[in-house]
Structure formats: C-alpha cells, structure tokens
Structure 1
C-alpha cells in the first residue's frame, strides 16, 4: 500500500532559465520552461521530497498569443486569449502537446513521450490535466487521428441545443459583451452565431469576469430550454471525450486530474471512466469538485478515485492558520466525509489558490506547518503540494494578465524566483536558497517522506483526541489539535500548535482510545519525535495526561512501540 503524494508543477514555469521577467512579456522576452528541463536530476530532487506522483499541469495544447504559424499552427486572436501565454484550460487541440513546452516544436509529442519515460525511470508516476467542460473559442484539432471528426464539425449551429451538437449556440447573434474584440494586427474577432461561454453563460454577452476565452461543451443537458438530460442515445460529445481520454492513456500516463468535473454530467463520468479503466485498470481519476452535496455522487456514480477536499479541509485549515477559525473545526470537517475520507485529496496550495507565503494568506510559510502536518498525516488519503510551496514561494509578482493576486500566474510567461534559484542553472540543489528556504524544504521532505516510511501514516487507523481535550486549562482547543494513528504495534501521537508562541500542553487520552485501538497503557514510555529524532519520556495512559511542549507554528509526531 502506498500513500499518494502529488507534486503539482506548472510545466511552463518550471526550469525557465531566464533570471528575470518583464511585465506582460512575450515568450522571447521572458522565456519558458521546457519538458526537457525535467532532467533526471530535477526529477530525483522532486522524488526526494517524498513524492510518488508528479502532475504536469498545462501539457495539452491551449490557446496562446504566441505566433506558431511557422509550424503550421494557426494564430489565436489575442482578444480571446488571457495573457500572452494563455490559459492551459482554454484547450486548442485535445490531441496535441503545447508547443511552448518543446525544445523542438515539431517533435513536441515525442518530447512528451520521452518525459513520461524519464519520469517513470525516476520512480514517479505521471498525472496530466483532462479539461472536459470547455475549450478555446478557436478550437481546432490539427493533430487528431484521421478517423476522428473535430468538435463542432458536424454541429447544426442554427439550433441552440441539440444532443447531436458538441457546442451550445445563440442563433442569430454574434459574440459581443464587454470584451474588446478588436486587435490592430489581426482585426476584429468574429463569432456568429455566438457559442455559450465555458462558465455556463448561455448568451452572447460574456464579461471580463467570465471565462470568455472558452466555449462550453454540450454533453446532452439542455440548459437553453430546460428540457433536462438527453443521454440516450449516448451523445456525440461523450464518444469524442472518451476517445481523447484513451488517446492520452495510451501514452503511458498514470492518471488524470479532471478540471471542473462537476460541470460535466456525472452520468458521463460513470460511463467513460469504466470504459477507460477496462483498458487501463491502474489509471487514477481525480475530480475537481467543490459541492460537498455531490461528493458521493461523483465517487459512487461517477466512479472517480479521488476528489478535491477544498471547501472542507483546505478552507478549514486556512482559516485556522490565519487566526479566524478554531482548531475544533477540524473534527467536524473530517466527520462530514468520514465514510469517504480515503477518497479525499488534501492540499494547502494549488494553481487556483493563493500561496501560503503571500500577503493574501499567511504571509509566512512557517505559519502553515501545523496545517501541513494535519493535512498530510490525518489519514491514508492522497496529499498534494504545489511547486515552490516547499520553498515558501510568495507568489506576489505582478506578472501580467494574472496581476498581483498572491498566485503564481497560469496566464503569463514568467520566471519564478525561488524555483529559478533552486534550479541553479540545471543543477537543482539548495546552494542559492536562503537559510529559511533550506529549512522549510528540509521540513517538507522529512514530513512527506514519513507518510510512506511509517506504516501508521501510510495505512494506519485514525483517532481524534479533541473530544476529551476541550474546555480545560491544559490545552487550548482553538489553537492546538491532537490525534492518534496506529498500525499493529506502532502508535503515533500527533499534536500541532497553530499559535505564534510555544505551548506546554497536557493531552488527555480517553479509555475508549485504548479499547478501540487495542493498546496497552504505560505510566512511562519513551517516544521519538519523528520530525527531529529527539526522544522524550511520556505517560501513555487514560489516567494521566501526556505532558509535552509544542513549538510555535509546529508540532510533534511522537512514535511509541507497544506490546512485545
């Protein structure tokens, strides 16, 4: 059994060899990371963090303002591309690799296949995005197999909705809205009839806050006339998207992270995922789903393996880290998904969320270490970190379209300073990192490696201790949190402190814990803190609290051996 640890990396930004960038700069001005930048050494360093999977974000070809006409790729109109580089979620060609990522553009698919081989050789598994809900407004597949008809190729654009169409249309109206559709070099962008916009905007007037660069795909649900679902016979879009999944699965990848999966009918997933797994049974499917009321639907009916735990654990831990929520909320958080806990994907950062070290979140990456311990160690489910998180990357650059928002841009060409220094001209070492960055990366590596080194973390039972540690003077339940993990004769007592000052705590262990986990009691026993290898003597009994000191913005993972 393996606990999945995912390292999400924004492929375009990783390994960019230019040390500085200019606001809203072009590919030539700011440079771009390549798939070749994931050298054996780079992958080994990522592996050393404790990583089991790497999610290469932004591999599939998407709309861009960069001119690739020399390679037979039509130009995209700048008015409907966000940022110079473009959003990786505005897919231009489902069967192609993004040319930005290739050293030799004409060999871009071969370079991706080589990247998969190199990743596997370094004992890492490969995840890529599958973007099922929307595509670029100028979608056109040049790389599709000959037998495949393009999206929209057989549509009747004079009908607002038909289950045979791949898109939704607004007949008799051209695309307008708040977007400036004029460009000096390319003239006006013209789309008539207008297609529905990716964020379920079924009119011709998207605004700047809409996903105006994308068009919504039609899976057979009539949003126009509200006539419900038309899933029999199986809609054409279903077949096309299943073929795309099979195409990428055939490249040897190990999983898909499915973008905005809940905007696609659950019935499609329940049909497509088993079809794909019939040929590739070990593939994993991760769903970006934000509605807790739909979690079980997408797991049991949609057949997903894992779901984002965003509105639950992420939001809760962020609130506690920032000081406006109580640590008691963690208990109700896991209880709400207790029956599906093993299917929840935990994280503290990804490309959509603000960086921990940004001014918009904690401002200090060390403040989130207690949250990291909880997120990584609470259960057997997967854990994900975002590239640069382990270095305390603040994401406070104003890159271009992205703006200064505490996120690392997904729209612009850019050089991420902390990653640039860590890469050290392809050497991938810590020589150019600050002492604090080195310290943080060392902590991440220690903790994430423990997740698979320790059987109790990898596959053990979880027991929350907070119900017997509230309302007393021995522990501040609003700023500290404690739980047990047990596997066979090994027990871990894990306690964290979200406070800015060290805390002397006395943690009650209920008699029920000893019964439930089948543990003997000890008046005195030696425990080892797995985070620093220091030993201390503690009581381990229901009759006397465990007295320990927790560091500021930190915690302890105390391991004890029980029985013979």
Structure 2
C-alpha cells in the first residue's frame, strides 16, 4: 500500500508540473528531414530455417544463418516494412565454439565463452567477421562486402556493432592491416596501469575461471577438450565490467577484458578534458581540438578500426556500453568518423539519464537509447500499473534532446513483448508502438521478429527464455514462419501474425513519410483529462505539425476497455494551426477505416470518437 500511495503522489506532482508553463511543451527539431527506422537483426539467426532447437545445440544440430540469406528479396521486404537502416548485430569476429582451425583460426576456450555460439560483445578480431556467417569462411570478408553492396542496392543503410569498452579474453587479430598491432601487444604487463597499455593488469596473479553457479557448466556439460575450468592468462587482466579480481565472479563479464583509455585506477584522467564550450561546437571543431594532441594508444586503435569499416561502405555504428568509456574519447572518435562520413549514423547504449547531454553534446553521438525514460514508462503502462500521464512528462524533460533519443520496444537485451514475462501478447504492443514511433522526431527501432509477435520462448542454453538468445545457435519460430523456407513472403504466418506485420508496415511507412513527425509536438493529454468526460490515464493524445501537415494521435493502452468521448483540441493549438471556425474532415492514416470531422467553434476543436481496446488513431487534418 505504501508503494501505491507514493506512486499516486508522484503522479500528482508530475501531472501538476506538466500542466504548468505550456509553451515549454513544444519542441523544434534540430534536423528537418524524415524520420529514420532501424531494423535490428541478429545476423546469425535471421536466415536459419532449422527447427531442432536443442539446448546447447551445435551449429550442425541447430543450424545458423548466413550473410547470403540476406538476398535482395529479403532486403526488399525489410525495406517495404518501412525501414531505412539495418543494424547487423554480431558481425565482427567474436569468440565461438565451432572449430575453424582449418582456416588458421585458433579454437576458443569454452571456459571464457558464453553459450556455444558466443557473445557478439566478446570481439576477438576487429579486422574480420564471424566465420559462422560465411558460406566459405576463407572468404568471409568478401561475403560481408557483398552483403553491404546488396543492402545498399535495396535502398538501406548498414550499421554494425563496435564494442569499445572490452574485447574477448582470447583476442587475436589474424588479418590486421599493415602496421596495426593487436590489443595488448606492446603493453608493459608489469604495471597495473600505463597510459599506453591497452589493458589493466593484476601483476603477480594469474587469471582463474569463475566458480560455476546454479548448475551451470560450459556447453551445458557436453564434452570438450578445452572445457577444463582453466584459461591461461598471466598476469590476469581486469574484466570487462571493471572487476579487478583475478578470479571474476560468475555474473561478471568474465569472457572479456576491459580496455584502458587513459583513466587511472583511481579514476583520474591522463588526457586533456574537453572544455565546456565544446558542447556547442560541431564535429569539425572537435576534430581540430584533438588533432595534434598526444593520446592513449587505445584511442588510436579504435579510430583505425572504425575507419577500416567505413572504407568497406558501412554507414554507421552502434556503440556498446558507451557510458563506460570516457566522453572525451567519443569526441575524438566520432569527430574522426564524421570527417570521413558526415552522414554516419552513430548510436550509443547509454542508460544514465544524467549523462545523456554529455554524450550527445560533448561526445558527438547522434542517438542514444531512450530506455530508462520512455521505454521503461511505456513498459509499465503496457503491464497495467503505469499511467499514460507519465509520458508527456518524459517528453517535456527530453525537449532539448528529444531528436537524439532513439525509441524502441524490443532489442536483443530486452524481453520480447509477447513473452509472458513482459505482457504475453504481441497485440498489447500496438498502442505502445504508435506512441514510440510518432511522439518525437527521433529514430524508431524494431527488433527482427517483433513485427510477427516473436515471444523468445526457446531454451537455447546460456541464459533463460524471454529474450531471443544471443549466445547460442537457435531457430526463431515466428520469424521462421515469415522466412518461409527463404521465400521471405510470410507464407507460413497465421492470420494474426500477418495482421500484426501489416500494422507495423502501415505505421512505419507512415512515419518515414510524414513531415509533421519532424515538426512541432504538444501533448493534449492533460487538457483532455481535465476537460473531457470519459477520458482517463489509459488513453494518451498529442498533436504533431508543420505548416504543411497537421496530425492528431490518440491511443488506448487498455486491453479490455472501450472509450467514447469528445476529444478536445486546445485553443492555443487551433490558433497555431490558423484554423477558423468550421468543420474539418480528418483522414485516418493507419487504416482509413473511419470518417470523422473536427468541428472548430470558439477557437476550440472537438472530435466525437469511439476508441476500442488497444486501438490507435493517427488523424491528418484536411484543410
């Protein structure tokens, strides 16, 4: 009861503060262009048609997708979904258990690999790609280049992962360009820290494999000559999440080692900090600032890595756990990237709202995950205990950076919407998706299979269901029904799954073509909550507009309750839209299934509406 009481008090305060000072609710975007939509795809799972799904199954037992599975037909269908960018997750060569020694690749030790297919965030060679993904592992780089070319021909841009905070314990570059040394090759391992060491060390202590817990055994206990609870590393290195123990905990990122960027063990910095005024300066000025300075070796190594992939035609990067790396490094790296490709798409994983503006303004990130603010708020509403009242408050707090906060409902780290641990029904994602995709000028991201209601129910091995596994070889059943034996036509989908994908297709295509979604925003939720009978905290409404397009968004998060009310458009919005008294037809942009008018009298707009459970409307005002 105490928790409920506090929640009510907080909502009351947020509601009051949101209703004050209305002009601040309006935002003007930084970039006047159409919205971007990112399709995140787990590359090794996309084209896998194998349905065995044996826990801890080998690549032979459970199968694996390939670069070649992304045919022009497949990419064309993704493009038609309303996608502008595709994020190929798990491309750089990371630790795997499959034996590629015939190709000169040493075997990875299961004691420092999570799962059988390995974590895509334990990169072991930044100048090559995962051999699992190639039809011919000897030609894996050539096959990836061909994928980039096909993706561009399909009208999509390519994003891949860069993981600057850590690398695999067994890092080994086999195809480094001339003059490029491996991470740690020149380190002084007698020191815990040196500005030009790539790693932090624990001198005098050898690495020890964690003590396995909760019945866990590498590879599920299946026999492997390297699975002996030993891994040779002397002296031990700090672990990727910052653990300074020679024997990290089972829940540490024990398969990785932390990169040193010139931050001493006491947290002080061995490089010049970026002056405050550089928040307002563009990437060219940031590039000039760092150009002639002596910098830690790791900075140069990651600059060389990103330049290498840009030369392949990669259009952007998703940076893993960016907040664990100093913001000055990002200023250096991103300004170098932008000097090569000013249009590069730079997306970062940052979860601390207190750091958002530093990483956007000083670090020159284009986009950050809007996880802690919008995603978490929407998730609570979907699960039934959150109120829509909180969403306008979140948007108001983000007003100065809203364009930079990428929106999503699923990704590889989050639970699938259809998982029982989330809401157990993909249909409950519809109103949330409308809000996520239309409330701001920011890009939208969906995760492959989300559009057909994938629940992530498979026990793949490492980790538990609710998220599609990123550690093991597995098939993705709902997605495989769309795959339809690589016809990419949805031929095996149920009617419900087809309708869900159609919803996503309609919504995403609207967003990338709507001028208003790159224009002004104002919530009308609190105005209607205070002035409209029958309107409550399970409904949300707001408006978006430019001089040429005016839209009204209304959505019902309730799974069971219908609403009937007269939605009101406040006087200040009608004045901004320069609408005179009269009747204005509204075009519903998702399904065109309703004919309704807005009547403007005495400077206020009124729309009589019936709103079914989980229903959303996107109305365009016809002048």
Instruction: Please state which band the TM-score falls in when normalised by the shorter chain.
Output: over 0.9
Tell me which of 548, 560, 565 is aligned to 1:505: 565
Query: What is the Cα-based RMSD across aligned positions, in Å?
Result: 1.6
The alignment partner of 2:502 has SS state of helix
1:18 aligns with 2:50: yes
Q: Where does the alignment leave 5 or more consecutive residues of structure 1 unmatched?
A: none
Partner of 2:233: 191
What's the offset of the Cα at 1:273?
A: 1.1
Partner of 1:3: 35
Partner of 1:205: 247
What's the offset of the Cα at 1:355?
A: 0.3
What's the offset of the Cα at 1:330?
A: 0.2
Runs of 4+ displaced beyond 4 Å: 180-184
Partner of 1:248: 309
Paired residue total = 558
Partner of 2:13: none
Question: Does the CA contact (< 8 Å) of 1:497 and 1:553 recur in 2?
Answer: yes
Question: Does the CA contact (< 8 Å) of 2:316 and 2:346 recur in 1?
Answer: yes
What's the offset of the Cα at 1:471?
A: 4.0
Partners in 2 of 1:499 and 1:246 — Cα distance? 48
Q: TM-score, normalised by structure 2?
A: 0.87
What's the offset of the Cα at 1:276?
A: 2.0
Deviates further, 131-140 or 448-457:
448-457
Question: Does the CA contact (< 8 Å) of 2:407 and 2:445 recur in 1?
Answer: yes
Tell me which of 55, 61, 64 is aligned to 1:29: 61
Tell me which of 340, 343, 355 is aligned to 2:401: 340
The alignment partner of 1:545 has SS state of strand
Tell me which of 195, 218, 230 is aligned to 1:163: 195
1:429 aligns with 2:492: no
Partners in 1 of 2:475 and 2:604 — Cα distance? 56
What's the offset of the Cα at 1:537?
A: 2.7
Deviation sequence 1:369-410 (CA, Å, 0-9, x none): 111001101122100000000000000111111222x00000
Question: Does the CA contact (< 8 Å) of 1:134 and 1:198 recur in 2?
Answer: yes
1:468 aligns with 2:508: no
What's the offset of the Cα at 1:544?
A: 5.6
Tell me which of 510, 527, 539 is aligned to 1:480: 539
Partner of 2:593: 534
The alignment partner of 2:45 has SS state of coil
Question: Does the CA contact (< 8 Å) of 2:184 and 2:197 recur in 1?
Answer: yes
Tell me which of 358, 361, 371 is aligned to 1:300: 361
1:74-473 mapped onto 2 (5 Å cutoff): 74-176=106-208, 178-179=210-211, 185-186=225-226, 187=228, 188-222=230-264, 224-230=265-271, 233-404=294-465, 406-457=466-517, 459-471=518-530
Question: Does the CA contact (< 8 Å) of 2:112 and 2:209 recur in 1?
Answer: no
Partner of 1:519: 578
Deviates further, 45-54 or 497-506:
497-506
Question: Does the CA contact (< 8 Å) of 1:402 and 1:410 recur in 2?
Answer: no
Q: TM-score, normalised by structure 1?
A: 0.96
Partners in 2 of 1:251 and 1:462 — Cα distance? 39
Relative to structure 1, is the Cα distance of residues 544 and 145 closer, same or farther in structure 2, using a 3 angstrom cutoff? closer
The alignment partner of 1:221 has SS state of coil
Partners in 2 of 1:114 and 1:184 — Cα distance? 35
Question: Does the CA contact (< 8 Å) of 1:255 and 1:284 recur in 2?
Answer: yes
Question: Does the CA contact (< 8 Å) of 2:88 and 2:160 recur in 1?
Answer: yes
Question: Does the CA contact (< 8 Å) of 2:187 and 2:197 recur in 1?
Answer: yes
Relative to structure 1, is the Cα distance of residues 15 and 512 closer, same or farther in structure 2, using a 3 angstrom cutoff? same
Greater RCO, CA 8 A, separation 6+: 2
What's the offset of the Cα at 1:17?
A: 2.4
Question: Does the CA contact (< 8 Å) of 1:154 and 1:165 recur in 2?
Answer: yes
What's the offset of the Cα at 1:476?
A: 3.4
Question: Does the CA contact (< 8 Å) of 2:574 and 2:605 recur in 1?
Answer: no
1:40-59 mapped onto 2 (5 Å cutoff): 40-59=72-91
- Larger fraction in helix: 2
Question: Does the CA contact (< 8 Å) of 1:527 and 1:536 recur in 2?
Answer: yes
